[in-house]
Amino acid sequence: MLAFYRNLAKLTRTASKLAGKKGTDLPGKVLRKVNDNVLTKLASDFDEIVFVTGTNGKTTTSNLIGHTLRSAGENFINNFEGANMLDGIISTFAIQGRNNTKLAIIEIDEGSIKRVMKYITPTKFVINNFFRDQIDRFGEIDTLIATIGEQLEGKQIQLILNSDDPFVTRLSKYGEDNIYFGIAKEAYQFSDFGISESKFCPNCGMELIYDHVHYSQLGFYHCSKCDFEHQSVKYEVTKATVEPFINMSINNGEVIETKLAGDYNIYNLLAAYSLLKELGLSEDKIKKGLGTYTPTNGRMQSISFANGSTVLLNLAKNPAGLNASLAIANSIKEEINYLLVLNDNGADGIDISWIWDTDFDILLGQNINNIVCSGKRAKELALRLKYCGVNANVVVNEAIPEAVAKLKSYNEKYAIAIPNYTALVETQRELEK
**Upper half-sphere CA count for residue 78 (Cβ side, 13 Å):** 19
Residue 388 known to bind ligand? no
**140: helix, strand or coil:** coil
- Among residues 165, 351, 359, 361, the one annotated as catalytic is 351
Residue 204 known to bind ligand? yes
d(CA 418, CA 316): 6
d(CA 215, CA 153): 30
Enter the DSSP assignment of 203. Answer: T
d(CA 303, CA 180): 35
Give alpha helix (H) positions in 72-108: 86-96
User: Could you confirm whether 351 is annotated as catalytic?
Assistant: yes
d(CA 57, CA 321): 9
Residue 373 known to bind ligand? no
- With residue 51 as reference, give the H or E element that holds it: strand 48-53
Residue 201 known to bind ligand? yes
Q: Indicate the angle between helix axes 265-278 and 283-292, nearest 10 degrees.
A: 150
d(CA 227, CA 243): 39
* Rg of the chain taking only CA atoms, in angstroms: 21
Backbone phi and psi for residue 308, each to the nearest 5 degrees, phi listed first: 95, -5
Q: Is the peptide bond prior to 244 cis by the omega test (within 30 degrees of 0)?
A: yes
Binding site for Zn(2+), by residue number, is 201, 204, 223, 226
Task: Write out the catalytic residue numbers.
Answer: 351
Annotated binding site: 201, 204, 223, 226
